[in-house]
Amino acid sequence: MTSHADLSGAVTDALRAPSVHNTQPWRWRIRPGAVELYADEDRHLDVTDPDRRDLVLSCGAALHHLQVALAARGLATDVRRLPDPEDCTHLATVTVGAPGTGTPDVAAASLFPAIAARRTERRRMSHREVARKHIESLQEHARGAGAVLVPVTDPHVRERLVAVLTDAAQQQCREPGYAAELRLWTHRLPGSRDGVPAADVAAPPLGLVKATGLRRFGQATLAQAALGPGGPPDDAAQLLVLATAGDDVLDRLRAGEATSAVLLAATRKGLATTPLSQALEIDGSRRRVQTDILGIPEQPQLVIRIGWPATGALDLVETPRRALRSVLLPD
């Protein structure tokens, strides 16, 4: 019989998952031998995320973190996604150790150390290129979670993708209520244990030649790594687009799981990562990414920036997370 301590410990690890604006839009219920995941609609960003894409992706990332944490504890799992058609907030039920669940996922368990180590890097990255073998490995992790990962390697295609990211961010800034919503989640009260603190955000690097596509968060007190003598101002970070076959709630949940798999695998390799969602939060921008820029049949769900950390960059601090008791539903 799986202990309650194992399940609550795994859920605590899952709370480290990335989420849009660090809203942590999830609730959990722990039952004997099972964990249920629910979307927390009270933490939905109405203006930034009008169709709940980011909310479901965030919950999908937490779902994958949970599977990794359970596998690391030697527990086999069975995952039922969208198990209750009458409750759209009930996104998944994970049953542990039931007959037919097989053996623990060794590949998932290998990602467990990355849960505590992963950070979102919003600073300049290094000038060291990411080897093709690393990209291919991350693509394999995405496929294993039911998604595809498309590298944007052509300089002209990358430039157009960054232009869409930049334009989408500007459109959002003009949207009524967006500035207030952003401020709400970047100026949290002390002890709130969520949101994006200024200490995790860096101002744009000086002297850049190319645009980065990074979202602007207002307050920014994190120092950039110093450039080496005579070094180019731009880094060698790559952009990857995560996409799924369709675009319903299940596809978005799967995309979140794939996001977690890619971010954790990249962290295990020592790579820095930044999820970029603004171009996919606007219908027109998302269609441009799919048809005009990538020309793929799949539905883009997220852009992921990856690269080697800049030389001399200080380690990022752990972002705040709510306590387990704050996100548990009564059994």
Summarize pLDDT for 48-61 with one digit per residue, the tens: 999 999 999 999 99
Summarize pLDDT for 133-191 with one digit per residue, the tens: 999 999 999 999 999 999 999 999 999 999 999 999 999 999 999 999 999 999 998 88
Q: Are residues 72 and 153 in the same domain?
A: no
Q: Is residue 221 part of a domain?
A: yes
Ranges in the chain, pLDDT < 50 = none
Q: Are residues 83 and 155 in the same domain?
A: no
Contact indicator for 296, 290 with CB cutoff of 8 Å: yes
Q: Is residue 329 part of a domain?
A: no
Q: Is residue 245 part of a domain?
A: yes
Where a domain ends, among 116, 144, 162? 116
**Count of domains in the chain?**
2
Q: Is residue 325 part of a domain?
A: no
* Angstrom distance (rounded) from CA 57 to CA 304: 13
Q: Are residues 148 and 266 in the same domain?
A: yes
Q: Are residues 248 and 303 in the same domain?
A: yes
Q: Are residues 245 and 160 in the same domain?
A: yes
Residue 142, domain CATH: 3.40.109.10
Q: Are residues 198 and 261 in the same domain?
A: yes
Q: Residue 196's pLDDT is what? A: 92
Q: Is residue 144 part of a domain?
A: yes
Q: Are residues 41 and 83 in the same domain?
A: yes
Q: Residue 271's pLDDT is what? A: 97
Q: Is residue 330 part of a domain?
A: no
Q: Are residues 255 and 171 in the same domain?
A: yes
Where a domain ends, among 116, 150, 182? 116
Q: Is residue 167 part of a domain?
A: yes
Q: Is residue 315 part of a domain?
A: no
| Enclosing domain of residue 110 | 4-116
Q: Residue 1's pLDDT is what? A: 58
Q: Are residues 73 and 174 in the same domain?
A: no
Q: Are residues 72 and 198 in the same domain?
A: no
Q: Residue 215's pLDDT is what? A: 84
Q: Are residues 209 and 282 in the same domain?
A: yes
Where a domain ends, among 116, 144, 173? 116
Q: Are residues 37 and 158 in the same domain?
A: no
